[in-house]
């Protein structure tokens, strides 16, 4: 039997705390940014017949992405998952360091911010989102690890030898669903997406990687939701679907539409 005893606070200065959750976002964005630059350089070095995104352009995009991730992720959590609570505790919306971010909200924020940036700079939206899709699993991986350290978003009761007793999950062992998500939605998707994009050169067919990322993430997220304890105040919809699953159905359909659209454009 494994007991969760991680402290969500990495360093406590008394008047200021450094939390693993906040650090995960900072490190994830930084590593993703550096890796995106590597991808852009790789495109330039290989001299494909493709006008690539310039490094300085992606540097400017990062500011938009950070805003989209943070604001979208937080508002997504507030409106999708716990509107009743935050409508009565408005100032707690700003306490992001305590946790409470929605992937689907962050995704929507990234989409909106990228649309604004691509329109303003006259750059292909899909060229940008293809690169973002290559680096996004890095942040997802670190974010899920931070969820595990926080002892939140834990799984259902389990008898598996690696099951863990979480502080807020009662005195029963549970699936470490955060780790499942870190491995599948983070590490696994990173390997697959980057293999297809950089080895199979699908990155140079703008939109395919974006669509494939949405499809792959959605399928894996719906799979892991079977092991994850639903939010107590939400429960299941139609006695089966968690909110995360329903939102993933939307992203799954969106990904398929993008792929079909790109294929149709190529055939024409």
What average pLDDT does the segment 171-178 reach? 96
pLDDT tens track for 136-150: 999 999 999 999 999
Q: What is the pLDDT of residue 174?
A: 97
Q: How far is CA 118 from CA 40, 103, 132, 202, in A?
A: 16, 22, 13, 20
Q: Is the pLDDT of residue 61 over 90?
A: yes
DSSP structure class, residue 15: S
- Secondary structure, 3-state, 204-246: HCCCHHHHHHHHHHHHHHHHHCCCECCCCCCCCECCCECHHHH
C-alpha distances in angstroms, 143 versus 3, 186, 226? Answer: 21, 9, 20
Contact 151, 168 (CB under 8 A): yes
How far is it, in rounded angstroms, from Cα 217 to Cα 185?
6
Output the CA torsion 95→113→105→181 (10° steps).
-100
Which residue is listed with tokens 């990234």?
110
Given a cut of 70, is residue 56 above it in pLDDT? Answer: yes
Euclidean distance between CA atoms 132 and 258, whole angstroms: 15
Q: Which residue has the higher pLDDT, 244 or 202?
A: 244
pTM over 0.85: yes
Q: Which residues pair with 241 in a beta bridge?
A: 237
Q: Report the sign of the C-alpha dihedral through residues 13, 15, 20, 22, in that order.
A: negative
Structure tokens at 62: 């990062």
pLDDT score for 99: 67
Mean pLDDT of the chain: 89
Percent of the chain predicted with pLDDT > 70: 93
Band of residue 98 on the pLDDT scale cut at 50, 70, 90:
low
Quick check: 208 and 202 in contact, CB under 8 A? yes
Query: Contact 127/53 with Cβ under 8 angstroms?
Result: yes
pLDDT at 47: 45
The predicted-structure confidence for 217-242, as pLDDT tens digits, reads as follows 999 999 999 999 987 777 778 778 89
Please report the pLDDT score of residue 198 as a whole number: 83
What pLDDT score was predicted for residue 205?
A: 81
- Gap between the Cα atoms of 140 and 129, Å rounded: 16
> Which residue in the block uniquely carries the two structure tokens 């697959």?
192
Cβ(118)–Cβ(128) below 8 Å: yes
The token duo for 47 is 């001299």
DSSP 120-182: HHT--HHHHHHHHHHHHHHHHHHHHHHHHHHT-S-B-B--STT-EE-TTS-SS-B--HHHHHI
DSSP H helices, 151-181, are: 177-181
- Which of the two residues, 37 and 92, has the higher pLDDT score? 37
Domain borders along the chain are 2-267
Q: Report the alpha-carbon distance of residue 70 to residue 73 in Å, rounded.
A: 5
């Amino acid at each position: 039997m494994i007991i969760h005893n991680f402290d969500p606070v990495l360093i406590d200065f008394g008047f200021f705390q450094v939390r693993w959750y906040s650090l995960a976002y900072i490190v994830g964005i930084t590593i993703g940014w550096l890796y995106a630059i590597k991808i852009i350089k790789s495109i330039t070095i290989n001299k494909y017949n493709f006008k690539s995104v310039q490094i300085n352009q992606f540097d400017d995009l990062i500011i938009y992405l950070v805003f989209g991730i943070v604001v979208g992720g937080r508002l997504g959590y507030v409106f999708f998952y716990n509107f009743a609570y935050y409508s009565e505790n408005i100032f707690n919306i700003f306490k992001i360091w305590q946790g409470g971010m929605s992937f689907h909200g962050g995704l929507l924020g990234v989409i909106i911010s990228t649309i604004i940036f691509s329109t303003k700079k006259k750059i292909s939206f899909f060229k940008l989102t293809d690169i973002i899709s290559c680096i996004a699993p890095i942040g997802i991986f670190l974010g899920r690890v931070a969820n595990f350290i926080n002892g939140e978003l834990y799984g259902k009761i389990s008898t598996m030898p690696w099951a863990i007793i979480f502080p807020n999950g009662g005195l029963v062992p549970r699936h470490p669903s955060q780790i499942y998500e870190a491995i599948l939605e983070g590490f696994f998707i990173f390997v697959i997406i980057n293999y297809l994009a950089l080895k199979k050169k699908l990155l140079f067919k703008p939109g395919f990687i974006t669509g494939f990322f949405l499809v792959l993430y959605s399928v894996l997220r719906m799979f892991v939701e079977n092991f994850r304890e639903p939010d107590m105040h939400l429960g299941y919809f139609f006695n089966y679907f968690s909110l995360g699953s329903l939102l993933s159905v939307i992203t799954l359909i969106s990904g398929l539409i993008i792929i079909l659209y790109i294929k149709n454009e190529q055939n024409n």
